[in-house]
């Protein structure tokens, strides 16, 4: 049977991305990052994001489709994400699918992050051994899911306030570092030396929920009281903050694995690029649990991961126009996700 060729579109936050897949193979994965546009503000400015998406989506789509005679469908990130940004991806996808008369499917961006764990060397592999626990840590979400199969997801816990990536970004801003904050904090924390600074490790008792705003406030108070931050203090603060976030993610993830007797853990989303997080989780959980992380380039938002969602739907024979139906991953409909992806 001929392999299905389909277009995948991602515009939830600050990356405009369009991919072309043929069956399991990622033929193209074009990503235009808006980071330079937002870095002056040290955070994503929604209106700037929507405009940049609409500036780029046409050319990226044309490039992804160059030389392609026929496609079998279009899959796009329906949310959660920034409303204006989502609309751009949705419109572009509807236009292509409407013009070509091929099915259009909207998928959940977070499912995309999860399925990014199965992409290796440009191909979607069968790495998942269900049931598994998914720790999704991005700029907009910190969530633990129990996955029983593709499209069979149960939310176990999310954040009560800030997401892990958001906390990295906000703390980086407080410390006058660049944007996005995660890589900046990680780089600083890895430098030698540094003062020993004690910060609270967030732990919402008797639940699988996260909370990072208290930790962020502790950093803000520390900076206020410290006056000028010297280099040793900055390094110590970055390290201590990173350790507190990672320890907190570890505690809840370990509880989830234990509670559900699960042997596989998939860690994904922008924060999963963090080397310290990867090392720590492997050290603490690696003996009993098989850990999966996306390749670094698939940690951040990209359309290939949305294509992986499309592939699984094709495989299940569920690739048909279904944009009015809520996504498989949770109850959010595309229009309700006002936050970042």
| Out of 138, 159, 242, 274, the residue judged to bind Zn ion by CB under 5 A | 138
Element housing 142 (H / E) = strand 142-149
Name which of Zn ion, ligand KG4, none residue 313 binds, using a CB cut-off of 5 to 8 Å depending on partner kind: none
Q: What span, in angstroms and rounded, lies between the C-alpha atoms of 77 and 108?
A: 6
| Out of 262, 273, 308, 309, the residue judged to bind ligand KG4 by CB under 6 A | 273
Give the residue from 335, 297, 308, 299 showing the smallest Cα distance to 137.
299
Q: Which two tokens stand for residue 241?
A: 């903050």
Name which of Zn ion, ligand KG4, none residue 111 binds, using a CB cut-off of 5 to 8 Å depending on partner kind: none
Minimal distance in Å, beta carbon 167 to ligand KG4? 8
Minimal distance in Å, beta carbon 136 to Zn ion? 8
φ/ψ of residue 262, rounded to 5: -100, 145
Contact between residue 57 and residue 88 where contact means Cβ atoms under 8 Å apart: yes
Which segment (146-154, 179-187, 197-205, 258-266) binds ligand KG4 by CB under 6 A?
179-187
Q: What span, in angstroms and rounded, lies between the C-alpha atoms of 248 and 189?
A: 17
Which segment (24-32, 118-126, 259-267, 300-308) binds Zn ion by CB under 5 A?
300-308
Contacts of 38 (CB under 8 A, 6+ apart): 14, 44, 45, 48, 49, 179
| Out of 107, 186, 238, 312, the residue judged to bind ligand KG4 by CB under 6 A | 186
Work out whether 79 is an interface residue with ligand KG4 (CB under 6 A). Answer: no
| Out of 300, 308, 309, 329, the residue judged to bind ligand KG4 by CB under 6 A | 300
Q: Name the residue nearer to Zn ion (CB basis): 45 or 226.
A: 45
Work out whether 337 is an interface residue with ligand KG4 (CB under 6 A). Answer: no
Q: What span, in angstroms and rounded, lies between the C-alpha atoms of 298 and 92?
A: 22
Interacting residues with Zn ion (CB under 5 A) = 138, 301, 341
């Amino acid at each position: 049977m001929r392999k299905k060729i389909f277009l995948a579109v991602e515009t939830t936050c600050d990356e405009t991305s369009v991919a072309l897949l043929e069956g399991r193979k990622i033929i193209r994965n074009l990503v235009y990052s808006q980071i330079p546009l937002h870095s002056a503000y040290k955070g994503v400015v929604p209106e700037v994001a929507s405009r940049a998406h609409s500036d780029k989506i046409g050319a990226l789509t044309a490039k992804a489709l160059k030389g392609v005679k026929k496609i079998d469908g279009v899959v796009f990130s329906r949310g959660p994400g920034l409303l204006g940004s989502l609309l751009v991806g949705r419109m572009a996808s509807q236009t292509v699918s409407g013009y070509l008369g091929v099915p259009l499917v909207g998928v959940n961006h977070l499912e995309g992050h999860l399925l990014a764990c199965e992409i290796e060397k440009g191909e979607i592999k069968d790495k998942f051994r269900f049931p598994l626990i998914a720790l999704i840590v991005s700029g907009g979400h910190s969530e633990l899911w129990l996955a029983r199969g593709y499209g069979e997801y149960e939310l176990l816990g999310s954040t009560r306030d800030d997401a892990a990536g958001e906390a990295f970004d906000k703390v980086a801003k407080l410390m006058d570092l660049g944007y996005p904050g995660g890589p900046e904090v990680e780089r600083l924390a890895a430098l030698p030396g540094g003062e020993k600074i004690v910060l609270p490790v967030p732990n919402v008792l008797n639940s699988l929920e996260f909370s990072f705003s208290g930790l962020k406030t502790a950093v803000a108070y520390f900076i206020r009281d410290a006056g000028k931050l010297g280099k040793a203090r900055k390094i110590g603060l970055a390290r201590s903050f990173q350790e507190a976030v990672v320890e907190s993610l570890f505690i809840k993830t370990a509880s989830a694995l234990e509670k559900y007797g699960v042997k596989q853990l998939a860690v994904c989303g922008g924060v999963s690029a963090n080397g310290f997080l990867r090392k720590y989780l492997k050290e603490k959980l690696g003996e009993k649990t098989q850990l999966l992380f996306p390749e670094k380039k698939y940690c951040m938002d990209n359309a290939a991961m949305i294509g992986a969602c499309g592939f699984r739907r094709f495989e299940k024979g569920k690739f048909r126009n279904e944009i009015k139906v809520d996504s498989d991953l949770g109850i959010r409909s595309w229009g309700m996700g006002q936050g970042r992806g």
